[in-house]
Structure 1
Amino acid sequence: MNQASIFELSGRPPLSKALPLAVQHVVAMIVGCVTPALILSRVAGLSSQDSIILVQGALVIAALATFLQLFPIGPFGAGLPVILGVSFAYLPTMQAIAGGYDLATIFGSQLVGGLIAVLVGLNVKRLRVLFPPLITGTVVFTIGLSLYPTAINYMAGGVDSPSYGSAQNWLLAFLTLAIVTVLNHMGKGIFKLASILIGIAVGYILSLLLGIVDFTAVSSASLFQAPRLMHFSLRFEVAACFSLGILFAINSIQAIGDFTATTVGSMDREPTNKELKRGIVGYGLSNVLGSLLGGLPTATYSQNVGIVTTTKVINRYTLSLSALILLIAGLVPKFSALLTTIPQSVLGGATISVFASIAMTGMKLVVSEEMNYRNTSIVGLSAALGIGIADSSAALSTFPAWFQTIFGESPVVIATIVAVALHVMLPKRN
């Protein structure tokens, strides 16, 4: 392969130029990639060994999904400079499934969801009309809102902790949050991009000084371990498949925004229909693979899109180094085990800003359209019914178990159904 510029899509630039930029991408996304696995492992009550395997799976599938998008195989992958990782968008629904069933049901539903994403990719032009920015924005906004209680419980130390709600936990949480906030608003360059990572690092160091970090899992973890095929098994429940499948359809459409932002911001062109179709089909395939390897659902990472559009570095070899770093990290259980030792209060202090950002991203999409009576009704009713019913799930106690799983556990599902239904039924002019 010939020497190339970091501003060219193909070719291999010097390693001295490519590696620092690759590390920058990893720093910007690694915390977001492994945090859903850390949260879900505690919700599901996993052993320390299984928690490590789940974190490993998150890193490995992020790497493989990114490789597939950068260097397509047949009709799978867009060939565009994007980074993929495990997504918070699925977390509320996965928490509900883990609470009602188990991880095997999550991965079974993910396999079905990946196939749904493939179908969406093959029919993307027909389905886009159902998901304008108003609808995707409403869904993303609801996702952000529904994650707030998770962050607050983590800031307090985790509901399963004997020290839940202690002053020490809140101190660690707010210190971490303060550092993340200050760096986000006043930091520049790598300090701004790595604000969450730096906040967690400072909170972690303070936790070490307080003697509340347990390294038992690290000492017992091996140095190398390949992903375990179907370690968590697969289980198929219609209600769970329906709930997660809806989110895969939505995220497939939402990926169009990230693909478009990447090409417009860094390549001065719109993505072709072929690139969009292959990108979404590749996204579906990588999630099918993830369900078999223990890697939770993935999505394109907007923060990495932001790096690409800001720096104009679109070289696929450079971004593939980021994926290679993630892959190596995922094959080293001691690294994954170290991540599981982060105190929940520190994790909560860092992630509440992420969840707030998710909600505001949704709001930005919403207000990109005219806020007339029709549109405000769609947003308000969808979010109200989604959040309200999920927070008062006992109101559905007389309904069948499958109905409660679909409509009473995750606010995202009902918000999506209501938003799409109102968008189709309400007249466009008021």
Structure 2
Amino acid sequence: MMEGKSTRSNSVFDLYGRPPITRAAPLGIQHVLAMLVGNITPAIILAGAVGLSTGESTLLIQAAMFIAGIATLLQLYPVGGRSNFRIGSGLPVIMGVSFAYVPTVLSIANNYGIAGVLGAQLVGGIVAIIVGIFIKPLRKFFPPIVSGTVVLTIGLSLYPIAINYMAGGVGAANYGSLKNWAVAIVTLVVVLICNNFTKGITKLASVLMGIIAGYILALALGMISFSGVGDAGWIAIPRPLHFGIKFYPTAIITMSIMYIVNSIQAVGDLSATTAGGLDREPTDSELSGGIIGNGTASILGSLFGGLPTATYSQNVGIVAMNKVVSKFVLLLAAGTILLAGFIPKIGAIMTTIPQSVLGGATISVFAMITMTGIKLITQDEMSTRNVSIVGLAIALGMGITTVPGALEQFPEWVTEIFTSSPVIIAAIVVFFLNIIVPKKTIDEEKKERQEIADKEKIG
């Protein structure tokens, strides 16, 4: 179904379907729970790194929820509709503050303060918009082998996050405890049972079912504290330019490079969404609008203290897993996220969910992202040329970022950019190798080997 056509369908599997609220709400809530910790954690990390007061830390966290809600709404319901220039993809994706920017944000904050981060972010958002405008002529450089490699690397890079969650969260006093692993495994088992042995809403909301089961077990084991809920306020209004905004050339260049690379990752996430949920590749206008929408949200975020945003891969995985693509479902999720940006108590309640529960619930989702990447890659022939390009890109991306100090002799800006996420290196390598290495089909490679063998016989 195309944009603008009838929306009478009540199917959750229809992009424009409007299912009953009783069916849509649980599916929307599981999207919120899947992204919540990832969305607020970068703000918490930054607040701690620069020594913000409790009040200012709360403002930074609330800004993260506010901007995530706005960014998601822009993606679901683009400004500009079906025009050539639109803000938003029109696809069922959840946006949030991106972990990929954290090392860069911390480095800039240490040198120039939060105002320097937000200034660089504003310019980075403009760069993303420019990339989005020109993505159509650049689209030929992002065939399935490129976008699929990016998606596959995204999936692989998320596994350590899921395992750390399952173990209780990095820095937790009980990290790796039997309690954490028991809760995580029970959560995962419930997700698998609901997804593979049940029907109806329990199957579609399998992630939510797992979170509920894990939460109940964690509560019984005394792993949940509600002290933060009581301390949280009822209303928090975002404050424009509260943290100020300043522009520094080094910070701007570093952040702009990050936004260019993140735009490539967005191509991968949007491709994974359409391939996993809609069984097709994204259109030029969807890719363009998605990247422009992210840039616009980041510009808006820089004015309110919301950090750089990106498509959320774990939510892409949920769409790929349950095939629920109804934008109405994600509208409920976006509304909840946005509401949490104004009512701290909502976010406080959600943050009582132990990380071991979230880890058990999301690791299967991350696995789906990986498999979606493989699905995209195999749309092209698995020639020696393609296999070597994909393998090398993933090897360098995963290898360099998992070996501490591998680039420590390089300039600081190099380590800031290329060690923040394996997706960055993998995306750059597969992008350029696909352009540089001559294209050969399996038949052409076979013919070439035969010619070599014939020459050896003659010799």
Short-chain TM bin: 0.7 to 0.9
Q: Alignment partner for residue 85 of structure 1, among 81, 95, 100?
A: 95
1:263, 1:271 within 8 Å by CA — same for their partners in 2? no
Q: Distance in 2 between matches of 1:331 and 1:132?
A: 41
What per-residue deviation string (whole Å, max 9, x for no partner) do you get for residues 27-72 of structure 1? 2421233231244356547487667555544443343234334554
Aligned to 2:258: 244
Q: Distance in 1 between matches of 2:282 and 2:145?
A: 21
1:110/1:135 CA distance change after superposition, 3 Å: farther
1:154, 1:345 within 8 Å by CA — same for their partners in 2? yes
Q: Distance in 1 between matches of 2:121 and 2:281?
A: 30
Q: Distance in 2 between matches of 1:242 and 1:360?
A: 30
Aligned to 1:394: 405
2:151, 2:272 within 8 Å by CA — same for their partners in 1? no
Stretch moving more, 293-302 or 202-211: 293-302
Aligned to 2:388: 377
Q: Distance in 2 between matches of 1:22 and 1:290?
A: 28
Within 5 Å, give how 1:133-172 maps onto structure 2.
133-172=144-183
Root mean square deviation, CA, Å: 3.6
Aligned to 1:13: none
Stretch moving more, 52-61 or 182-191: 52-61
TM-score, normalised to structure 2, is 0.76
Aligned to 1:11: none
What per-residue deviation string (whole Å, max 9, x for no partner) do you get for residues 361-399 of structure 1? 222211121111111111111111111111123122221
Q: Distance in 1 between matches of 2:137 and 2:386?
A: 22
Gaps (5+ residues) in structure 1? 9-15
Q: Distance in 2 between matches of 1:186 and 1:49?
A: 47
1:7/1:109 CA distance change after superposition, 3 Å: farther
Task: State the one-letter code of the partner of 1:246.
Answer: I
Aligned to 2:348: 337
Q: Distance in 2 between matches of 1:153 and 1:82?
A: 28
Q: Alignment partner for residue 271 of structure 2, among 236, 257, 277?
A: 257
Within 5 Å, give how 1:101-112 maps onto structure 2.
102=109, 104=114, 110-112=121-123
Q: Structure 1 residue 152: deviation in Å?
A: 1.7
**In the alignment, structure 1 residue 297 sits paired with structure 2 residue 309:** yes
Question: Based on CA coordinates, which of the two structures has the bigger radius of gyration?
Answer: 2
Length, aligned pairs only: 411
Aligned to 2:33: 31
Task: State the one-letter code of the partner of 1:297.
Answer: T
Q: Structure 1 residue 245: deviation in Å?
A: 1.4
Identity over aligned residues, as a percent?
41
Aligned to 2:66: 60
- SS in structure 1 of the partner of residue 31 of structure 2: helix
Q: Alignment partner for residue 19 of structure 1, among 4, 18, 21?
A: 21
1:204, 1:346 within 8 Å by CA — same for their partners in 2? yes
Stretch moving more, 141-150 or 20-29: 20-29
**In the alignment, structure 1 residue 349 sits paired with structure 2 residue 355:** no
Task: State the one-letter code of the partner of 1:61.
Answer: I
Q: Structure 1 residue 328: deviation in Å?
A: 2.4
- SS in structure 2 of the partner of residue 395 of structure 1: coil
Q: Distance in 2 between matches of 1:176 and 1:418?
A: 37
Q: Structure 1 residue 428: deviation in Å?
A: 0.2
Q: Alignment partner for residue 9 of structure 2, among 7, 10, 22?
A: 7
1:262, 1:309 within 8 Å by CA — same for their partners in 2? yes
Task: State the one-letter code of the partner of 1:129.
Answer: K
Q: Structure 1 residue 24: deviation in Å?
A: 4.8
- SS in structure 2 of the partner of residue 298 of structure 1: strand
TM-score, normalised to structure 1, is 0.81
Gaps (5+ residues) in structure 2? 1-5, 11-17, 446-459
Aligned to 1:205: 216
